[in-house]
Structures are given as structure tokens and as C-alpha cells.
Structure 1
Amino acid sequence: MALPHLRALEDCADFTKTVKPFVPQLYDLPGKLHEVLTGQESLLNVYMQTNPLISGFALSVFLGAVFLVVAEVNRNYSQVDRCWSLLPTLYIAHFDLWARLVGLPTRRIEAALLFSTLWSVRLTYNYWRKGGYNIGHEDYRWELVRQRVPKVAFHVFNWTFVSFMQSILLFLIAAPVYKILLASTIEPNLTSADLASLSMELGLILTEYIADEQQWAYQSAKKQFKETGRVPRGFKQADLDRGFLTSGLWGYSRHPNFAAEQTIWFLLYQWTCYATKTLYSWAGLGPSFLILLFQGSTWLTEQITGGKYPEYSEYQRKVGMFAPKRLSAYKTPALKPKIIRTSELAEKQRQKEKEKEKEKQK
């Protein structure tokens, strides 16, 4: 049997009952796939007889190997980035498909799949319009990392974190849905808590969309101003000269889109905790790791931004990285008037008198 026999919702979050017994299937999976290739077994049977958490994890490891090979061959380390917006939704769809094939209720899983699909559409579109899918495109931060670490160390970093760990992370942030799948065997219908969680997820996606649009409009205006010398309608030259956006959501958070992104996957985890009547579980590993990843990547991003724009340090002081520091939005500090001392005025007067004397002598 590919699922445990559970009697209580709390059991759906128990690692020893829902995950550990199926770990041996991971080791048996290569042999099963060999039987499929040799015609001894059908792929559909192997898929249905394998625990969905195990098969999803196995796929993330396989994709990690693919990302590694492609990255090393092309010397381009943004391979995971190209799939980032798609894989979590793929894994949730995998849980939904598996449940359908074995005849389990899927309404609660589909609620998670709905928000995840909209999340994928938004992020994929935003990544596409910024040129992320162009041939040869690579995240600018990887070049900076390569400059700071030895070549061998960077390759080890790629073999471990960039390719495999990030690929597995994208599975782990979707893995809490496995708990919803299990809970659906006991409580199959959508609950008010499911609908409330779905509504909050959709609100967070809307927040990301608004932040993306504000940033896109600003960067487009800045590019247009740089190319034509004309300030686009709706913007001030001082704002474009600053170099970074401080209005809208960005006046309260330095990275409102990142804040919403982390909250989306942590909320999914909390959703599944509520569904299984537990305070915490093993499924928190994925969102916790994601939050740590954002801390490091955002720090690196701000190191680069702070080196380009003088006012950024003041922006950092007044506006929180993710959560707002104050109720009021950020305002560009007023320029301090230059104080002219009496001695400076006297010196200028003496210079003028000397120049007049020289003119008379001529």
C-alpha cells in the first residue's frame, strides 16, 4: 500500500507514520523504473504503487542532476531559476493526479492547486518579461559570487546548493500538500479553514502582482528617461535620478514581493498544520529553508544596490527589509542647506577687492 492507514487527523502529520515507512520505496524506485524500461512493468502501475511523497522527492533529485549537467555544460547557473515558477505547482498537481488515480477525494488538494497555479502564472510572466527565458540569460548575482569565491569552491557550490538543494527545496515547499492529501482520507470536504487559507493565499499573490507592476513601471520609466532624456508622465526626475523605487508598497517595505513570497509558502504549511490539528510538523522544513535562502539572497542583492545608489543606506535605515518599520511611507530626505560662515564671506570679499586692484593696475 502506498499510503498509511490513519485514523486521526493528527496522525497525518506524524513523520514516523506517514513518511518513514515509505523511505525504502525510494531505494527500490530505480529497479522499478528499470522494469518499466524492459517492459516487465507499466509506468502507471509503478506510479500508483509508489507513495506520492517519495516519487515527488525522487523527481526533484533527478531534476537536480539535470540542472547540474546543463549548468556545467553551458557555464550558466540560472537553470533552476527558469523552472522556479513552475515546479512547486507541478508537484502539487502531482499530488492531485495521484489522488485521482487511486480514487481519493481531491477537493482540498485542488484548493491548493488553484492558488499555486495563479502563483505560477504571475511569476512566470514576470520572469519572462524581464528576459529570464532569453538564451544565455543568467542572474547577475552569480557573476558576483564567481568573482568572490575560488573556481573550485564555486563548482562545489553548484554541485550541492545551486542544482540539487534548490531543486529539492522547490519540492519541499509544496510537500505540505501531502498532509492535505492524507487528511482528505478522513475529512474529504472543503472546510471553512481551507477557504480562509485560500483567500489569504490569493491576497498575497495579488500583493506580489501589485509590487511587480509598480517596480516594472518604475524601471521602464527609468530606462526611457535614460534613453530619451524625457521624464515619463507620472514620474518626477528626482525619483528617477535616485535609481530605485520608494513609492507604493516599496515605501513601506524594501522587498514587498519577497515578503509576500515567503509568506505564501509558510502559510501553506500553516494551512496543513490546521488541517491536521497540529502546531508544527516535518513539513515546516521547506518553508523554513526558503526563508533562510531569502535572507541570504536579499542581503547580496542589497549589497549590490547599496553600492550603486548613495541614498539606499538612508532607505535601509527607514524602511524594513520585509516588514514595515513605521506606518508612514518613506520620504526622500530634504537636502541640507549649505551653511556659509562669516569668515567665508569675508574671504570672498577680500578676493574681489584683490581682483579689482589688479584690474586698476592694468
Structure 2
Amino acid sequence: MAVNIRKAVIAFLVPLPSILFYLSFLGQFRDHPSITAAVSGNSLSPLWIWCYQHPLLLANALFFLNVNLLFWIIGLLQSSHWMIDLYWTVIPLLLLHFFATHPLAECNLLRSRLVIFLTWIWSIRLTHNYFRRENWQWGAREDWRFTDMQRQYGKNWWWVSFFAVYLSQQVFLMGISMPLYVVHSKNKEFDIWDVVAALICLAGIIIAYYADTQLHTFVSRNNELKRLGQPMVLILDKGLWQYSRHPNYVGEQLWWWGLFTFAWNLDFGWSFIGALINSMCLAYVTVLVERRMLEQEYRADAYRQYQKTTSVWIPWFKTTYSGGKDKKI
């Protein structure tokens, strides 16, 4: 209990340096009736002027100092890099409010409020799933991929982790969050494409929620069966999982591509790069997850059959496998 409380306190305190710095920055402009006059005159320090003129660079600088360096140091001290997994569900939300409140922000108010609402729902869903999966514990474990990499790199892991766990996350999270910046950098009339984008985002949130809930129920049931000494259910192939082997990833993909649709409608088509990289990373994670499933001897045969009958990502009707031929059922 004491360890859980200590980790909760650390998690709440660790983002405060960047939050307080940014609030101090915003406070400089509350004291000046004219932002333009404050920037062009000598009433602001060079630091605040730079923060005003370079919102993206400022966001990256705060990310590097507060997340990459501070999270990394705390992770080394705790011998566990659990915080980045938790904050993955919060950092896009923090970036969103940074972009929305920056003095250079320009946006359609309805579009901005819609994106803020949807991002809050996404963040709450993902944070809830994190704590539900971890039995409502703070930092009970780190991502299994980090644990595998630690075994791989051994005594070099202390410095490799800075690049593999944190610096890579900055590139990744800043990339996929770019549509949140785009929405607050151009004022264009709200139109039908904003509705389409919102529906894609909402569909992604709903699909991911139900997929993760079904997975949680499956894992919880197997844990109870194991405790009772009874045979476990080998494969989750019910609900959304009968149409896709990774419906939770499908939902997450829809969310980020829905955000990109907002940016595309604002003529920032280049921001697709973040969503594309995210899709490529999830494709790689899919390979790792399936390889891990096949390494579990007790369910390997059942999972191979599941692979033959169920789509990897795109939901589709289940098939039967017989003599190397698949047929619809």
C-alpha cells in the first residue's frame, strides 16, 4: 500500500516542472493588454519571446527535459520505466491543452471544443484500461517489451533505455499529436468533414473500449480458473475478437486516423506521417505479441488455428481451415 501511494505521488508531481513553467509563461501575457506590443517592445524577456514565437519547439523542449530526462532518471532510480506507459495516456491531452492555450493559437471554436472533448474521452478510456489491467496499482510493472530489451542489452540498458524508451517516444508522441496542433493553428469554418473525423474518432474509442473490456474479462476469468486449478480457456475468439485478432489495435488506429482527418480538412495533409508511423509500429508490435503467444506451448496450437481462421487487423467474418483451404462460414 505504501509503495502504491509513493508511486502515485511521484506520478502526480513529475509533470509539474513543465506545467508550472508553461503557466508562468502564460502569466506574462495576462499582464499585457496587447500581446503584439509586449512581444515587439522590451517588456518581455528574450526567453518568453522565444516561447511565444516557437510553440512547437517549446513543446519539444519541455518534452525532452521533463519526460525524456526526468522520467529516465526516475526510472533508473526505481529500476523500472513504468511511468511512460501510464503517461502515454495523458501526454497527448497535455499537448492538446498546450496547443489550445498558446497565445499564437488560432482555431474554429466548435472544432477545438469537439477535439478537446474527444481527446478527454480517449484519455479517460485508455487511463481506465491501464489501471484496470494493473489491478488499480500505480506502476506495478513496466511494459513487457522494455523488460525483454533489458535482458537483451544487459548492463548497457541504463543508457540504451534513454533512447529506446524515451527519446523514441518523443518522436512518436509528437508525431501522432501533430493534428492537435494543426486544429489550433488555422481558423476554418466547421464543415461535414469535421463530422466525419469526429465519427471516426468516436468509433475508434468505442471499438477499443469494448475490445479491451472483452480482453480484461478473458484474462480475469483465466486467472480465476488457474487459481481454482481448472483448465484455462486457450484463446479469446468471442465478441470483437472473432472478427479480428487485434480489435483493440484497430480501435486505436481509427482514433489517430480520425484525428488526422481533422488536420487533412485543414489542408495539413503532411500530418499523416504521425498516424502512418503509429500504424507501422503497431504492425511490429502485432508481430511481437503473436510471436509471444506462439511461445506459450500450452496454447500454441490453438493460436495457430486462430491465426488461420481470423483476420489480423481488419475485421472480417471468421473462416474455417481445412486441408490448407479457407471457406466462409
Structure 1 length as normaliser, TM-score? 0.68
* CA shift in 2, pair 1:48/1:54, >3 Å: closer
Cα drift, residue 144 of structure 1: 2.4
1:303 matches 2:291: yes
The answer to whether 1:53 aligns with 2:56 is: yes
The 8 Å contact of residues 67 and 80 in structure 1, kept in 2 or not, is answered as yes
Alignment partners' CA distance in 1, 2:276 and 2:159: 23
Name the counterpart of 2:96.
Answer: 92
Whether 2:250 is the aligned partner of 1:246: answer no
Question: How many Å apart are 1:271 and its aligned residue?
Answer: 2.4
Aligned equivalents of 2:145 and 2:58: distance in 1?
A: 33
Q: Which amino acid aligns with 1:315?
A: Y
Q: Which residue is equivalent to 1:265?
A: 256
Residue 44 and residue 210 in structure 1: after superposition, are their counterparts in 2 closer, same or farther (change >3 A)?
Answer: farther
CA-atom RMSD in angstroms: 3.0
8 Å contact from structure 1 (residues 68, 164) kept in 2: no
Kept in 2, the 8 Å contact 1:76–1:136? The answer is: no
- Matches of 1:220 and 1:170, distance apart in 2: 31
1-structure distance, mates of 2:46, 2:208: 39
> 1:105 Cα shift?
4.4
Q: 1:110, CA displacement in angstroms?
A: 2.1
Could you list the runs of 5+ residues in structure 2 that have no partner in the other structure?
1-20, 29-42, 323-329
Paired residues of 2:203 and 2:255 also in contact (CA < 8 A): no
| Aligned residue number for residue 313 of structure 1 | 304
Q: Taking structure 2 as the reference length, what is the TM-score of the superposition?
A: 0.75
- C-alpha distance in structure 2 between counterparts of 1:288 and 1:168, whole Å: 13
Task: Give the letter aligned to residue 318 of structure 1.
Answer: T
Mapped to 1, the partners of 2:248 and 2:238 lie a distance apart of 14
Q: Are 1:216 and 2:204 matched, yes or no?
A: no
2:216 corresponds to which letter in structure 1? W
For structure 1, the 5+ residue unaligned runs are 1-28, 231-236, 334-362
1:134 is displaced (CA, Å) by 2.6
Higher relative contact order, structure no. (Cα contacts within 8 Å, ≥ 6 residues apart): 1
The Cα of 1:275 is off from its aligned counterpart by: 2.2
Q: Which residue of 2 aligns with 1:128?
A: 131
Q: Matches of 1:103 and 1:169 in 2, distance apart?
A: 25
SS at match of 1:322: coil
2:278 paired with 1:275:
no
Q: How many residues align?
A: 279
The answer as to 2:162 corresponding to 1:159 is yes
Letter in 2 for 1:292: M
SS in structure 2 of the partner of residue 176 of structure 1? helix
Larger radius of gyration: 1
Which residue of 2 is the match for residue 191 of structure 1? Answer: 191
Report the secondary structure of 2:244's partner residue: coil
Q: Relative to 1, partners in 2 of residues 1:151 and 1:127: Cα closer, same or farther, differing over 3 Å?
A: same
Contact 1:64–1:167 at 8 Å: present in 2 too? Answer: yes
Q: How does 1:134-145 map to 2 (within 5 A)?
A: 134-145=138-149
**Is the 1:106–1:181 contact (alpha carbons within 8 Å) kept by the matching residues of 2?**
no
Equivalent AA in structure 2 for residue 316 of structure 1: Q
- The residue identity in structure 1 corresponding to 2:125 is R
The residue identity in structure 2 corresponding to 1:252 is Y
Alignment check: 8 A CA contact 1:96 1:106 kept: no
Which is further off, 102-111 or 206-215?
102-111
SS in 1 for 2:184: helix
